[in-house]
Amino acid sequence: MDHEAFMDAEPFMHRYGESSNSSSSSISEEVRPQGPIGAVSAAFKCMTSNATKLCVHDALVKLNGTGDYDIGGTYADDDPEFWFFYTVSVCHGDNRLLNLFVCHRKTGTFSIEVASSSDLTQKVAPGDDVPYLLLPPDMVKFNFKSIKANQNYFIKTFCFKKLDRFNKSCTLFIPIKITVSPKFELNSDIVKAIKLQHDLSGLLTKQETTDYILESASRKQFPTHKILLAAHSPVLMKMIKETDVPSLFIDITDKDMELLLEFIYTGTIKNILEEDCVKLLQIADRFELTQLFTLTQHVIGDQINSENAIEMAIVAKKFKLQDLVKRVYTYIAKNPKVLESEGWKNLQDVDLAKDLFQFSRTMIQSVIEKCRVCSSNLERN
C-alpha cells in the first residue's frame, strides 16, 4: 500500500476527538495524565518529541480476532498532533497482520520511523508482573505531507506467524520516532531513475511525467520535474521546501526561464555564443548555479577585445569570477588600446581602475625582472 492519505474522517471520527463509543476516547484531553516517558497510549498524554514506543495493550486478544483498534496519540504542548491506530487481519497460513496507521491532526510535513521487521526480540517469562514483547530497534523511515488536517496514513504492516510468544495480557511495544517538518529530502530512487535518462532535455521538451509548475512574470507556466529543480539549485530547493502547492512563481522573463530550465535539464546552453552572457551570469547568481558560472566565464574569456574589456572586467568583479578577473586584467595590461575605448572613458568604478593599474604595474615589474635575470644570464655566458 502506498503511503498516502487513504481515507477521510469516517469511520474513525473518534480519532479526531469528535465522537466515539470507545473506552479510550472517554478520557478527557484536558485531564489525561502523563504516562511513562516515551510511551504512546490512549491512557496517557505523550509529547510528540518524546515518543519512543507505541503501546499495543492486550496484544494476544487483539491479534486473535479482527477489527480496528486505537493505540493513542501525541501532543505538541496541549494540542493533539498525531493519533495512532491499527487494524488486524488474517492472511494465508493463519498469519496475523497488524496494519499500523496514523492520523495527522494538523497540516505540514512529518516523518515516522518504526521497527523495520516483525521479529520479537524478548520472550515474556510466565510469572512476569508486567509482561511485554518488543519489536527490534532497527527502524525504517516514511515521509508524509498533509495539505489538510485529520488525514489518515498507512505506515507499515507487521506479520506474526505464531502467537505462542504472547501472554494473555501481553503488551506489544513498537519502537517509533516522529519528526515534524523534517529536513527536505530527495527520493534516491527517483534521482537514480532520472539519472538513467541519457537525454534529460527530452524530459523538458516532451513534458512527460512532470509534477511541478514554474510560472514566469508573464504568468506563463512551465511544466517541470521538482526533483531536478531541487537537485541543481539550492535556491529552488529552498523555495520548493517552503511551499505546499505544486507550483512556484518566479519573477523572471519567459526567456530567462527558458535559459534556466535549459541549463538545469541539459547542463549547458546550446547557443550560448548567441546569448547575453551577463544575463546568464545573473541567472547563475540568483539560483546558485555554480557550473553555469564556470561555463559562462569561459565563454566570456574567449570573447574579450579592446572594446569590451572594461565591461568584462566590471562583470568579473561583480560576480567574483577570479579566473575571468585574471584573464581580462592580463588582456588589458597587454593591450594599451583598451585605454582608448569608450568603456575606459566612461568607467566610474575608481577601485576597479586602481586594481587595473596595480595589476598592470605588477605585471610590468614582473616582465622587467624576467628581462633583468635573462640579461644577467647572458652576460655570465
Residue by residue, DSSP assigns 207-267 as: TTT--EEEE-TT--EEEE-HHHHHHH-HHHHHHHHT--SSEEE--S-HHHHHHHHHHHHHS
Q: What is the pLDDT of residues 166-210, one digit of tens each?
A: 777 788 899 999 999 754 444 555 444 544 443 455 555 556 678
**pLDDT reading at 29 higher than 80:** no
Does 32 have pLDDT greater than 70? Answer: no
Q: What is the average pLDDT score of the chain?
A: 80
- Give the integer Cα–Cα distance in Å for 76 and 82: 9
Confidence of residue 6 (pLDDT cuts 50, 70, 90): very low
Residue at grid coordinates 463509543: 21
What pLDDT score was predicted for residue 299? 85
Could you tell me which CATH number the domain at 188-371 has? Answer: 3.30.710.10
- What does the DSSP 8-state code read for residue 278? H
Picking from 56-60, 121-125, 371-375, which range would have the lowest pLDDT averaged per residue?
A: 121-125
Q: Give the count of beta carbons closer than 10 Å to the beta carbon of residue 362.
A: 12
Terminal-to-terminal C-alpha distance of the chain: 87
* pLDDT at residue 255, rounded to an integer: 95
Q: How many Cβ atoms sit within 10 Å of the Cβ of residue 264?
A: 21
Cis peptide before 11 (omega within 30 of 0): yes
Say whether pLDDT at 128 is over 50. Answer: yes
Q: What is the number of helices (H) and of strands (E) in the chain?
A: 12, 15
Provide the greatest CA pair distance for the chain. Answer: 109
Res 342: pLDDT: 92
> For residue 122, is pLDDT > 60?
yes
Phi first, then psi: give them for residue 317, nearest 5 degrees.
-70, -45
Residue 50 reports pLDDT greater than 60:
yes
Question: With contact defined as beta carbons under 8 Å apart, do 130 and 106 qualify?
Answer: no
Cell numbers 511513562: residue: 36
Specify the pairing of strand 212-215 against strand 151-160: unpaired
Residue 214 has pLDDT above 70, yes or no: yes
The residue ranges of every structural domain in the chain are: 5-180, 188-371
Burial class (CB in 10 A: 0-12, 13-18, 19+), 21: exposed
